[in-house]
Structure formats: C-alpha cells, structure tokens
Chains A and B, each alone.
Chain A
Amino acid sequence: MTLLEIKNLKKIYTARFSNQQTEALAAVNFSVEEGEFVSIMGESGSGKTTLLNIISTLDDASSGEVYLDGNPLSKIKDKEISAFRRNTLGFVFQDFNLLDNFTIKDNILLPLVLSKTPIEEMESRLPPIVRNLGIEAHINKFPYEVSGGQKQRVAVARALITKPKIILADEPTGALDSKASQNLMEILKGINETGQTILMVTHSIRAASFSKRVLFIRDGAVYHEIYRGEQPADEFMDRISDSLKVLSTRGEQDE
C-alpha cells in the first residue's frame, strides 16, 4: 500500500527584494510504500532538505502535492498542523534538537505531553522503546551529559514514541562518528524491520546502504533510483557509490 505519494512537487524561492527566482525543486515525483526504508541522496544544494521540509509540513510547496495515506497535506488547516506533525510524523535531525532543560526521559515524552496523553499511557510506552535503543540507563540524565550517539538514539526514541506513520530523518548520522553511525543505522534498520516506514535524507553512502531503496536527487528532481533487493550491504554500497559517480560525471558533462 502506498503511504506517501509525491506528485509534481515544485518549490521556487523568490529573493525578498528582487525578482530573481531560485528553483529548489523542479518536479519531484515518487512514492513510498508502507514499511519501506527509503534514502534520498544528492549533493549539497540538490534540494534534499527542501523536499524533506515540505513533507514535514515545515515548509510549503509552490505547486504539486504531497499525499499521506491518500490525504493531501496542503489541505490540513493551520490549527491542526502541529497536532498532525506530533501524531503522524516522527523526526530525527542532524543536530539532534534535544532540549537541555529536559531530562532524556522528558525529551522523549515531549510530543506525548504536547498531545495531552494520559500519564499511564506515557509511562507504559517509554520502557520498551528505551530498552530497544539501549538508553535505559540514562533516562534521568540531561542531554549535555551523554554522548552524541546516545543523543541521536534519544531523538529516535522521541520520534518513535508517538507511533508515527512515517519517520523523517534528516542526515541522522551527520554529526556522529563512524561507530556511532553504524550503531544508529542498525537501530533504524531494526525499527524498519518491525514495520515502521522511514524516509531518510543522507550524504553518507554507508548510511544509505542500510535502506531498501535509494533515490538520487539532482537539481531539484529525482534522477535515478536503485533497490537493494536481496543484496548484501557491501554490494549495495558499491552500487550506490557507482550511481553517485555516474550522477556527478553526467552532471559535469551537462554543464
């Protein structure tokens, strides 16, 4: 079943004091099935983050539409947008975006508190998630007291606790060392295996190799896509890197 469908998505930025326009997204079309783990790759400035921001409802499209479960996101009223974000989407950011005034536990519970979830419900959802992510021992610490890898796992826990339809991850390994990255990606893969849909934007070939499908985006459009199928991770990595190479050489020929 198709969970997320992106049709003809366009985003044009206009500078405030001139008519000069920058096209961030030209025409993006793709869809994500339920239970998929999709990576979006591309160079800086290719429009990855703009795309993710529009899917996250943090930004508006100039034209085109994003459908989640068949419902167009642009039809959600302003009043409901925060609740929608809270209940249907889970976010993992490059710079973690944890709050220093909350303990790890409270950081994870934040979206539930905002949704006015009963305390019993919150407390029953917390233990399995922190156990799976291996941050059980730290839940009463503050974010500045734990390592980067642990912080990102806290962010993943915060994304998971609302049981979102889809997790949107923006360069989740961007601020982590290789060991912590490896660990985080294994966790995301494990989460995906339980049926959770994940859409991730990344630079890292290694990170992308954990997903089931990789989309390549260039100059604001989906340029290419490859499926992992039954391939082992190493081979998939090679294919990703080959694709990237082709992508960049063709790009230079174009210019």
Chain B
Amino acid sequence: MNNRFFSSLALRNIKSNKQLYIPFLLSSTAIIAMFFLMVSLMTNKFVQERSSSLPTLFMIGVVVIGIFSVIFILYTNSFLIKRRKKEIGLYGILGLEKKHVAKILFFESLFSSLLSIAAGLLAGLLFGRLVFMLLNFMLRMPNDIAYTTSLLSVGATVALFVLIFGITLLYNISQFTFANPIKLLKGKQEGEKEPKGSLILFILSLIFLGWGYAISITIPDPLAAIEKFFLAVLLVIIGTYLLFISGSIFILKALKNNKRIYYRSGAFISISGMLYRMKQNAVGLANICILASMVIIAVSTTITIYLGSEETLENRFPYEHNLKLFGDMDYVAEMNNRFFELQDEVIELTEENGLEVAEMESYRYESFFGNLEDGSFVFEQSSVDGDLPVLMMVIPLQDFNGMTGENYSLADDEALFYHSTKTYLKEDLSIGNKTYSLTEIENEFSADMALTESIALVVPDEAHLLDLREDYMGQFPESTHITVDAEIGWNTEGTEAAEKALAEQLESEYNGVSGSFSRYESRDSQREEWYSINGGFLFLGVFLGLLFTLGTLLITYFKQISEGFDDRGKFQIMQKVGLDENMIKDSTKSQIIWMFILPIVIATIHVSFAYPIVRKLLLIFGVTNDMTWLMTFIAVVIAFAGIYWMIYRVTSKVYYSIVK
C-alpha cells in the first residue's frame, strides 16, 4: 500500500466528514488569519515608529493570540477526533495496522493544515488590506496607514501553525495507538470525566487571577506597567482557563445536585449536556471570555486616547504659545536676563500682530536625577541604565508664586515639596550641602510628573538653584547638562489669522536658528500632528476590536455548530419519548446564562481589575482624565455585550435548526 492510497483515503475521509471538517477548517483559518494579522501589525511601520511602547504592547498581543491559537486548535481538534473514533476504530477492526492508521491521520493533518494555513494567510492579507482601506476612509486619516506584511511574519505564522498541527497529529496518533478498537467504537458515547483535583485547579485559578489582579492594582508607575503588563495578562489568561474548567464543573455539579433546579425540562437537558462535555464547554467559554476582555480593553483604551487628545495637548502644551529657553552652561547668570528679556519680546511680538496677551506664565527651573535615601536626595548621573532614578525639578519661589498666583514666603532653609508617589514622609530633606524643612504642596506642574517618580522642590530664590548646581558639579565634574532652563507660555486673544501669523513668526524667530537656545511650539500647529497619531491608535484599536469580535463570532459559531451536531441524535431520541419543540427552545434558552452572561460578566471583572494598570499605561499616552476612560469603558462594555448578544442569538438559531 503506497502513499497515494493513503493520501486519497485521507482526502475522502475529510470529504465524507464535511460536517465536522468545515467548521474546523473555517475556525482554524480564522485563527491563523488572526495571528498573521497580529504579527504583521507588530512589524507595521506605524506601530514601530509612533511610540516606543506600541511594539511591546503588540508583542504581548502576538504572544496572547499565539497561546490562544494553541489552545483553540487543540480544543477543536480533540472535539473532531472524538467524533471520529468510531470510524477509525473500524479501520483497526478491518485489519489496518496502527502505522497505516497513523499514515492516514498524517495525510489528513497534512491536507487540513495546508489548506487552513494557505487560506488563513490569504484571508489575513485580504482582511488586513480591506479593513485598513475602510478604516483609513472612515476615520479620515490625514496620512493613510498602510497595511504591510513581510516574509518574516508569514514565516512566523507558518512555523507556529505547522508546530500546532504537528502537536495535534501526535495527539491523534496517540489516541489511536493506546486504545483498543472496541473502546474506540464506543469512544463517542462516553462523557468527559471530571479533571482530577478540580478543587486544586480552582484554588490555583484563584491564585493566578489574584496575582494578576494584584499586579494591576499595586502597579506604581507607567514604566513598571509596561514591564509587568504582559505578566499580568498571562496570569489572568491562565487563571481564566482554570477558573472556567474547575469553576463551571463545580457549579454545574452543584446545580445537578439541587433536585428542584435540575429536574425541570430546560435545565435538565442543558445541564446534563454541559456536564457531558464539561471540559470542552469550559474551554469554549474561557476562549470567549478572553476575547471579550481583549476587545473591551483594545477599543476602550484607544477611544479614550483619541477622545483625550485635546486634554493631552493641554497637558503637553499648557498654553497656546510655548517657548522653552535652554540655559547655557557657561553663562548661567545671563540666563536670568535673557529670561526677562524674552518675556518682553514675546509680548511685544504678540501685540504687533494685533493680539492681546490673555494669560502668561513663566518660570525657571533646574532638573536633577537622583535617589531618595534616608532623608536626603542623592544626586546621580542621568544615565538610563538600571533602575530609573527620581527626577527632581527645582523652581525658585518667585516663579512659583508667579505661576500659581499663590503668595508663599520661605525662610532660607525652607522649601515647598511635591512628591508624585507621596512616599517620602520626613519633615526635612537634605540635598547637596543644604537641608530644607518641607511644606507639602499639590502638583501644580506638568501632568507628566505623574509618569515616573518625580519631585518638585520650590526653593526661596534662584541663588539656591545655582548653589545646588555647584554641589552637583562638584560631584560629577564632567556633567554637561545641568543648567537653569525656563518655560514661557501664554494665551492670546484675537482673530485666528492673526494667531496663525504670530505662530509662524515666532517659529521662524526662535526655531531652526543655529546656536539659539530656545524652542517655540504652538499648540495649534501641534494639534494636527497629535490627532493623526492618536487617530492611528484609534485605528489600531478599532481594527483589533473588529478582529477579536470576529474571533468571538467564529468560536461561538463553532461551539454551537459542533454541539448541535453532537446533540442532534439526543434530541431525536427525546422527541420520540415526547419532547416538544417548545422544550427544545427552553433548553437552548437556559443556556443563555452560561453562554452569554458568564463570559461577559467575567470579562467585565477582568477589565475592571485591569483599570489601574491600563490607567498607568494611558498616562504614557498623555491621558490623565479618568472620567473619559470610565465612560468609554462602560460604553464599550455595553456595546460589546449588544454585539455578543446578536452573535449569540444568531448562532443559537443555527444550533436550534440543527437539533430540531
């Protein structure tokens, strides 16, 4: 018997098991396309260039989808092979040796994996192109974001799925090698056994979930959030699978033991059905739950970033016109004169353009890196290796009072103190050769200060700035960049044309002149750029949301179809002993609480616990408004629940039409 024979037999098997293979191939194709899209996105130009944290986040996405693919394909495969045990057991009885059966299985895997990988790559390419075109059009992106893919992403996708299909093949062969034909003939009838140690699994799931949640709740700052986000996601995913596997069996058994609930026609049929394939049921629900969480997080965060664009702009550019003055190493004293001169200069320029200065803020400051150690701030070179040092901004009192409108006065050994993490509780702080007694204030400075652990210190006058600089230079003589810098920001009132003219004039005056130590930025000219970046995020978010929703649709569809074919025989028997159509509807209805409510509720809990860590991540993108995120979050949860409800309704109709 040669390979041709086995390959044609394998092909015929696939054809004659159409009912099983079509949903299997469809959902494998979808998951391969999904992974391929995700890998392609990771290497996308926009993702790579726009923000340093995006590639990391997409890397997480790729790994999550990768894990998801492994679980999903193993799960659908085990479902498929269980249904075919009888057929393959028959081969053994008809006299085929085990190696022959293995050959048939090999060809079957070969054909189905070739087909689904090819179709998945093609579908991914088409879907990516089309949806990118559509989104570019719908979101009116100023610069189109191109969908690109590379041989590398194709290679990665092919490699992963060849591996996964290889594993399923080994699993299938082992199923038939270690079982006797009679057992195989009966394979389909046996219900799934409860996994051993389900109580331990349940406890483990709580530990994983709790650990993941704890990481999110206790995350100190955004940079740690990027680092730990992946671990937290991974823990929650593992926890979710374990929770659904152990928890759902737990609940189902409890329901079964409650006679008043169990012995009612709808519950009777659906509970026993779910217990019959408990693991499969649990994995399916966990898949849906994880996808739902990903949709909600991806869409709600990117919408928040987009909606928060204006706020981000205001954080980054507190005034319509912003002029930054860089201090000169060698002429620190001249800086002060320049600082006051410039203020007069820009007021003059503004008025020349027919505008009125509505508000103005200006301050000088000095930044140091260092660490808080037992009542003193120890300077450090501002190197970025190792643990991130604490950033300290030192501001003279005069400027602070000027910018806040407060009227503080400080003795020579007193200072105002703001600490982003509020973990420094001592009354005094030594820095350089000085010790200040501290008065705590709130963050009156940039919102960026919350990004990493930062300190603002308001000292009595600018002489203190120079002293501190001297102390620092004494410690690190080669250091070149400790200078007193200054910010001048102002708003103007007048016509739009005049505003524009002013912005252009300021830009040519202060920017791009070599040797100048200032930089001018207008909020209006930054706005467009900012919106296109944030529009890009929204784009990715909507794309991912769409992708994951489609995944949810396919998984729900696969679940309903495969269970429908599984249950058809049972419903026929039950109809013979007097089951009517209303009762079939009843039993499908009583699955709603499982199929619909459970995944959505758990996903919502996941996302709620993800709130602290996601909030920290949002800070990186300049979003500080909690309300925006909360409202979008609620809206997205409701919208997704609505979409999933439709998916559920449609697929359960499919189920109903199969079993009826």
Indicate, yes or no, whether A interacts with B. yes
Residues of B within 8 A of A98 (CB): 573
Cβ contact within 8 Å between A101 and B574? no
Q: Which residue numbers of B lie inside 8 Å of A, CB to CB?
A: 186, 189-191, 259-260, 263-265, 268, 272-273, 275-276, 570, 573-581, 583
A102–B268 alpha-carbon span in the complex (Å): 9
Segment at the interface with B among A5-13, A29-37, A106-114? A106-114
Residues of A within 8 A of B263 (CB): 109, 113, 119, 122
A86–B576 alpha-carbon span in the complex (Å): 9
Cβ contact within 8 Å between B577 and A144? no
A160–B273 alpha-carbon span in the complex (Å): 24
- Tell whether A119 pairs with B191 under 8 Å between CB atoms, given A101-B272, A110-B577: no
Nearest B residue to A144 by beta-carbon distance? B189
Residues of B within 8 A of A97 (CB): 573, 576-577
A99–B189 alpha-carbon span in the complex (Å): 9
Q: How many residue-residue contacts, CB under 8 A, span A and B?
A: 74
Cβ contact within 8 Å between B186 and A144? yes
Segment at the interface with B among A77-85, A172-180, A244-252? A77-85
A-B contact sample (14 more), CB < 8 A, given A58-B576, A82-B583:
A82-B581, A86-B577, A87-B578, A97-B573, A99-B573, A99-B574, A101-B272, A101-B276, A101-B570, A113-B265, A114-B579, A114-B583, A119-B263, A142-B191
Residues of A within 8 A of B264 (CB): 113, 116
Residues of B within 8 A of A56 (CB): 576
Cβ contact within 8 Å between A119 and B259? yes
Please tell me if A186 contacts chain B, counting CB pairs below 8 Å: no
What is the CB-to-nearest-CB distance from B567 to chain A, in angstroms, rounded to a whole number? 9
Residues of A within 8 A of B574 (CB): 99, 110, 114
Picked from B268, B276, B578, B581, the residue with its CB within 8 Å of the CB of A100 is B276
Cβ contact within 8 Å between A114 and B273? no
Residues of A within 8 A of B573 (CB): 97-99
What is the CB-to-nearest-CB distance from A53 to chain B, in angstroms, rounded to a whole number? 10
Cβ contact within 8 Å between B577 and A101? no
- Tell whether A158 pairs with B577 under 8 Å between CB atoms, given A100-B191, A101-B570, A119-B263: yes
Q: Which residue numbers of A lie inside 8 Å of B, CB to CB?
A: 56, 58, 79, 81-87, 91, 93, 97-102, 106, 109-111, 113-116, 119, 122, 142-144, 158
Residues of A within 8 A of B191 (CB): 100-101, 142
Most interface-central of A106, A113, A115, A158 (chain B CB within 10 A) = A113
A196–B186 alpha-carbon span in the complex (Å): 35
Nearest B residue to A115 by beta-carbon distance? B578
A116–B266 alpha-carbon span in the complex (Å): 10
Interface SS majority for chain B = helix
Instruction: Enumerate the 4 nearest inter-chain pairs by beta-carbon distance, A residue then B residue, closest first.
Output: A86-B578, A82-B580, A101-B276, A85-B578
Residues of A within 8 A of B190 (CB): 100, 142, 144
Nearest A residue to B276 by beta-carbon distance? A101
Q: List 28 A-B contacts (CB under 8 A).
A: A56-B576, A79-B580, A82-B575, A85-B576, A87-B578, A97-B576, A100-B189, A100-B570, A101-B191, A101-B275, A106-B268, A106-B272, A109-B263, A110-B577, A111-B578, A114-B574, A114-B577, A114-B578, A114-B579, A114-B583, A116-B264, A119-B259, A119-B260, A122-B263, A142-B191, A144-B189, A144-B190, A158-B577
Cβ contact within 8 Å between B272 and A114? no
What is the CB-to-nearest-CB distance from A238 to chain B, in angstroms, rounded to a whole number? 35
A102–B259 alpha-carbon span in the complex (Å): 14
Nearest A residue to B577 by beta-carbon distance? A111
A203–B459 alpha-carbon span in the complex (Å): 108
Nearest A residue to B272 by beta-carbon distance? A101
Cβ contact within 8 Å between B577 and A85? yes
Interface SS majority for chain A = helix
A109–B265 alpha-carbon span in the complex (Å): 11
A113–B273 alpha-carbon span in the complex (Å): 15
Picked from A82, A119, A158, the residue with its CB within 8 Å of the CB of B579 is A82
What is the CB-to-nearest-CB distance from A49 to chain B, in angstroms, rounded to a whole number? 13
Most interface-central of B273, B275, B578 (chain A CB within 10 A) = B578
Cβ contact within 8 Å between B577 and A91? yes
Residues of B within 8 A of A83 (CB): 578, 580
What is the CB-to-nearest-CB distance from A51 to chain B, in angstroms, rounded to a whole number? 16
A106–B189 alpha-carbon span in the complex (Å): 16
A100–B569 alpha-carbon span in the complex (Å): 11
Residues of B within 8 A of A91 (CB): 576-577
Residues of A within 8 A of B576 (CB): 56, 58, 85, 91, 93, 97
What is the CB-to-nearest-CB distance from A122 to chain B, in angstroms, rounded to a whole number? 7
Most interface-central of B265, B276, B580 (chain A CB within 10 A) = B580
Residues of B within 8 A of A79 (CB): 580
A175–B328 alpha-carbon span in the complex (Å): 100
A79–B276 alpha-carbon span in the complex (Å): 30
Nearest B residue to A84 by beta-carbon distance? B578
What is the CB-to-nearest-CB distance from B152 to chain A, in angstroms, rounded to a whole number? 47
Residues of A within 8 A of B259 (CB): 119
Nearest A residue to B571 by beta-carbon distance? A99
Nearest B residue to A112 by beta-carbon distance? B263
A113–B272 alpha-carbon span in the complex (Å): 13
What is the CB-to-nearest-CB distance from B276 to chain A, in angstroms, rounded to a whole number? 4
What is the CB-to-nearest-CB distance from B27 to chain A, in angstroms, rounded to a whole number? 24
What is the CB-to-nearest-CB distance from B100 to chain A, in angstroms, rounded to a whole number? 28
A143–B268 alpha-carbon span in the complex (Å): 17
What is the CB-to-nearest-CB distance from B584 to chain A, in angstroms, rounded to a whole number? 10
A101–B191 alpha-carbon span in the complex (Å): 7
Most interface-central of B190, B191, B263, B265 (chain A CB within 10 A) = B263
Picked from B189, B570, B578, the residue with its CB within 8 Å of the CB of A82 is B578
Nearest A residue to B277 by beta-carbon distance? A101
Residues of B within 8 A of A93 (CB): 576
- Tell whether A116 pairs with B578 under 8 Å between CB atoms, given A101-B273, A101-B275, A101-B570: no
Residues of A within 8 A of B579 (CB): 82, 114
Residues of A within 8 A of B268 (CB): 106, 110, 113
Nearest B residue to A98 by beta-carbon distance? B573
A81–B189 alpha-carbon span in the complex (Å): 29
What is the CB-to-nearest-CB distance from A144 to chain B, in angstroms, rounded to a whole number? 4
- Tell whether A143 pairs with B189 under 8 Å between CB atoms, given A109-B263, A119-B260: yes
Cβ contact within 8 Å between A102 and B272? yes
Residues of B within 8 A of A99 (CB): 272, 570, 573-574
What is the CB-to-nearest-CB distance from B185 to chain A, in angstroms, rounded to a whole number? 11
Residues of B within 8 A of A100 (CB): 189-191, 276, 570
What is the CB-to-nearest-CB distance from B85 to chain A, in angstroms, rounded to a whole number? 13
Nearest A residue to B274 by beta-carbon distance? A101
What is the CB-to-nearest-CB distance from A85 to chain B, in angstroms, rounded to a whole number? 4
Nearest B residue to A58 by beta-carbon distance? B576
A82–B573 alpha-carbon span in the complex (Å): 12
A111–B577 alpha-carbon span in the complex (Å): 6
Nearest B residue to A82 by beta-carbon distance? B580
Most interface-central of A83, A102, A143 (chain B CB within 10 A) = A102
